[in-house]
């Protein structure tokens, strides 16, 4: 996995979260892991085409997603991931990915992104075949952890 793919997403996520949520996230330990939809998690999946082909998936526990959306709404407490919450978390993924694609373009890599797809995992998870992804967690004080998972071919 190439660092030039993940670093723009990491840089963008830090910047967008600082602007939108007013929290400065710290970076956890990167690693290669199997991508699997875990129960009680929200997943924001965005496809990439162009110089790099694949997808980026932002994963977070549903309770973390609710805290993030609440912070995005100016502190208004959100207690369930309804349509408004899913729209807000989807837009967060879109903002991060859009900024990352601009960073990649400035580095000479033309990449287009697809609209975000929000996946809410339920009991039993998914029947997807396992895939490997480079994963970097972002730790947001008082909110929780957001995993950035990048899979490119």
Predicted confidence (pLDDT) per residue in 18-61, tens digit: 999 999 999 999 888 887 778 889 999 999 999 989 999 999 99
* 31, part of any domain: no
CATH of the domain at 140: 3.40.1550.10
CA 9 to chain centre: 9
* 147, part of any domain: yes
State the residue range of the domain holding 74: 3-24+38-152
* 50 vs 122, higher pLDDT: 50
Contact 16, 63 (CB under 8 A): no
Other CB atoms within 10 Å distance of the CB of residue 3: 10
Cα separations in angstroms, 49 against 126, 135, 145: 24, 20, 27
Q: What's the structural domain count of the chain?
A: 1
Which pLDDT score, from 0 to 100, does residue 5 have? 85
d(CA 89, CA 83): 10
| pLDDT, tens digit, 9 for 90 and up, residues 69-114 | 999 988 889 899 999 999 999 999 999 999 999 999 999 999 999 9
Cα separations in angstroms, 64 against 2, 60, 71, 80: 28, 6, 11, 11
* 100, part of any domain: yes
Residue 125 has pLDDT above 60, yes or no: no
* 33, part of any domain: no
* 32, part of any domain: no
């Amino acid at each position: 996995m190439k660092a030039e793919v993940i670093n723009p997403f990491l840089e963008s996520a830090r910047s967008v979260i600082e602007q939108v949520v007013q929290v400065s996230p710290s970076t956890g330990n990167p690693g290669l892991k199997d991508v699997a939809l875990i129960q009680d998690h929200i997943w924001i999946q965005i496809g990439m085409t162009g110089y790099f082909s694949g997808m980026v998936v932002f994963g977070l526990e549903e309770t973390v997603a609710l805290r993030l959306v609440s912070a995005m709404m100016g502190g208004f407490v959100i207690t369930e991931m309804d349509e408004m919450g899913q729209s807000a978390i989807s837009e967060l993924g879109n903002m991060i990915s859009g900024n990352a694609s601009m960073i990649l373009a400035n580095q000479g890599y033309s990449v287009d992104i697809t609209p975000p797809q929000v996946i809410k995992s339920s009991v039993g998870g998914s029947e997807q075949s396992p895939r490997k992804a480079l994963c970097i967690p972002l730790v947001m004080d008082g909110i929780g952890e957001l995993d950035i998972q990048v899979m490119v071919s």
